[in-house]
Amino acid sequence: MKGGVGKSSISVNLSVHTGSQYITNDITPPSIEDFIQIPPNKKKIPADLTKLENAVFDLGALSTLLDPKVAHAASFCDVIIIPTRTDSRSIAATLKTYELLQDAGKPIVIIINHFRDQKKFEATRDQLWSTLGRVPVASIRETTLFDRISNAGIVFALNIQNAKGLHMLQKTVQKHNAVYDRITAIGEHGK
């Protein structure tokens, strides 16, 4: 329901981390060599894509109603991720998105993304919890990692351990990987 929350960056990173196929309905997908783009005019996910074992669907375009592709993906996915930021508009959109997706009966993880101030993160998390109950909330602080992957493509993410001069990003990578491991575990266990 709101752009700029890091949906595509999280999706790309999660697909790299899990070795999954990246699938999007975005008209301007990230710089990735191997991705599948669902035409924006399609109402459902193509049948062959619903059968993939390991896939990350990067689907946006929600408004006050649930986009048919998002509803379709929610019906067969293992876990739903809703990224948000700490501003009030993002929080309101997150609450609406959660409301629209909770009927799918799938685990939902909210990622508070791209923040600097720990107190803003905690206030956002507490506001979400006071409205939704203790849903899983993860955090990804502001980092240059997303920008570098967006500019250099998936090859950067795949080769980050070997890239000369990028050892300073290792802590960031480890923190991101911990978030993706948590999401994967929730999807596997349905909690």
Q: Which CATH superfamily is domain 7-189 in?
A: P-loop containing nucleotide triphosphate hydrolases (3.40.50.300)
Buried b (16+ CB within 10 A) or exposed e, 36-47: bebeeeeeebee
Q: Where are the alpha helices (DSSP H) in the chain?
A: 7-18, 47-50, 68-76, 88-101, 118-132, 145-152, 154-158, 170-189
What is the pTM assigned to this prediction? 0.80
d(CA 141, CA 174): 12
Dig out the tokens for 70 from the structure: 């998002």
List the pLDDT tens digit at each of the 191 positions of the chain: 556 787 888 888 888 888 899 998 877 666 667 788 888 778 889 999 999 989 999 887 555 566 778 888 888 999 999 999 999 999 998 999 899 889 889 999 999 988 888 999 999 999 999 999 999 999 988 766 655 665 565 566 666 655 554 555 667 777 888 888 888 888 887 65
* Domain residue extents for the chain: 7-189
